Amino acid sequence: MSERIRQLIEDLGRTETHLHHRDCLLTWEQSDADLKALLLATEIFEELYRANCDARLFRGGLAVSLFRDKSTRTRFSFASAASLLGLSLMDLDETKTQVAHGETVRETAAMISFLTEAIGIRDDLFIGEGHEYMVEVASSLDEAYEQGVLPQRPAVVNLQCDRDHPTQSLADLMHLQKTFGSLEALKGKKLAMTWAYSPSYGKPLSVPQGIVNLMTRFGMNVVLAHPEGYDLMPDTAARAEQQAEGSGGSFELVHSMEEAFADADVVYPKSWAPFHVMEKRTRLLRAGQGDKMDQLEKEAVANNARFKQWECTEELMATTRQGEGLYMHCLPADITGVSCEEGEVAASVFDRYRTATYHEAEHKPYVMAAMILLSRFSNPARVLLRALERGAERRLSS
């Protein structure tokens, strides 16, 4: 096991990255080398954990989390990543801080960062605001560090914004790499990222946007499918097409779930709200017109109901490559007859792939640890090698 880990660390050392003192906000801002380095570091942390090796790279310091939306997997994954690295977790509840009394983003960012190594932010509810908020936090940290207020500049980790969900999409990419054997093996594989029916209307766009903008980087033939009117953010398709052209893959937009599933190696049926609905939702809330939200929700839910046939069924799965296409989901899925009357996926399909989706999710803590590692250390391979050679047990043997 240690030889395998040592080889991975050597591979990481040969990978030229530019993530030191940079934040992990959008995957399409990272180079191919940066993404491969993140995957290598993710795998190293996974192997260190399985080998019962103490991977703590910090002897103190904070990891601060700020969740502006509900979360299970991402919240616990960030806490796990902090613990793995030796950091203490502090969850920032804005209702219990001076933010509730008007404290500015610039001031808050500096005040929570004196002994902080990483700040994880989830801000996916408002189109045109989530990513911008993270950029403002990052800019505030730059200013405080440059003026000598902060002894170190914490890394900002995007735990999901309105544009992208990089920790999820990179965990998904790791899952695909493990399933098919390598990144190279993904070239030419067909991935169907499709809308699926949900009885709720406000699901973010960031997962499908993240998937089509990451998987096209690795030569996959990505098909995006959704009903007419369920468009993603305007620049998504153009970026995916450009990236597919550069990687030797392809990108196609269709309005048929059946067409997307046909001969697919991977299917990812996931509901999201139309871009124009999320735009209107943001405008109403920011204008103090919350009283109009009920009507917007009724209209959106009614529109969703027109497309209940967009469900991942056994019949559709049978049309995938040799009837054995890989089902993926970021979880929680809307499971027909289980979590809702009618939903994204048939119960029999989900049950068959339940363990696979859990394996898909298990990579997230290590992805987050990898982001912190590459941002905070100029020579991450050397630091990981020291942790390996230290030989300390994570859990003492009995």
User: Could you report the per-residue pLDDT of 41-87, keeping only the tens digit for each?
Assistant: 999 999 999 999 999 999 999 999 999 999 999 999 999 999 999 99
On whether both 150 and 10 belong to a single domain, the answer is yes
243 & 120 share domain: no
Q: What is the reported pLDDT for 241? A: 98
My answer on whether 183 and 309 are in the same domain is yes
Q: What integer pLDDT is reported at residue 98 of this predicted model?
A: 82
Question: What pLDDT, on the 0 to 100 scale, is given for residue 260?
Answer: 98
With respect to residue 397, please indicate whether it lies within any of the assigned structural domains: no
Is 396 domain-assigned? no
Q: Report the pLDDT value the prediction gives residue 398, as an integer from 0 to 100.
A: 81
Please tell me the distance from the alpha carbon of residue 18 to that of residue 35, in angstroms, as a whole number: 10
Contact at 8 Å (CB) between 233 and 164? Answer: no
Q: Are residues 98 and 123 in the same domain?
A: yes
Structural domain contains residue 274: yes
**Please, how many CA atoms are within 13 Å of residue 59, restricted to the half-sphere of its CB?**
1
The Cα–Cα gap between 225 and 258 comes to 9
pLDDT < 50 stretches in the chain: none
**What is the distance between the alpha carbons of residues 240 and 28, in angstroms, rounded to a whole number?**
10
Number of domains in the chain: 2
Position 216 in a domain: yes
Is residue 181 within 8 A of residue 150, CB to CB? The reply is: no
User: What tokens appear for 301 in the block?
Assistant: 């839910």
- DSSP-H helix ranges across 250-311: 257-261, 275-286, 293-304
- Tell whether 395 is covered by a domain: no
187 and 147 assigned to the same domain = no
What SS3 string covers 159-208? Answer: EEECCCCHHHHHHHHHHHHHHHCCCHHHCCCEEEEECCCCCCCCCCCHHH
Residues 98 and 43 in one domain: yes
Residues 126 and 242 in one domain: no
- Does 148 lie in the same domain as 247? no
Does residue 112 share a domain with residue 37? yes
Residue 398 domain flag: no
Report pTM.
Answer: 0.97
Same domain, 55 and 150: yes
Q: Which DSSP state fits 154?
A: P
Q: Are 81 and 204 members of one domain? A: no
Both tokens of residue 374?
């590459």
pLDDT (0 to 100) of residue 202: 84
Site of tokens 């989830």: 122
Q: What is the spatial distance between Cα 242 and Cα 103, in angstroms, rounded to a whole number?
A: 41
Task: Please give the residue range of the domain that contains residue 128.
Answer: 2-164+363-390
**86-121 per-position pLDDT tens digit:** 999 999 998 888 877 788 999 999 999 999 999 999
Output the domain CATH number for residue 323.
3.40.50.1370
Q: Are residues 232 and 350 in the same domain?
A: yes
Strands 326-327 vs 266-269: parallel, antiparallel or unpaired: parallel
> Does the residue 276 lie in any domain?
yes
User: Does residue 311 belong to any structural domain of this protein?
Assistant: yes
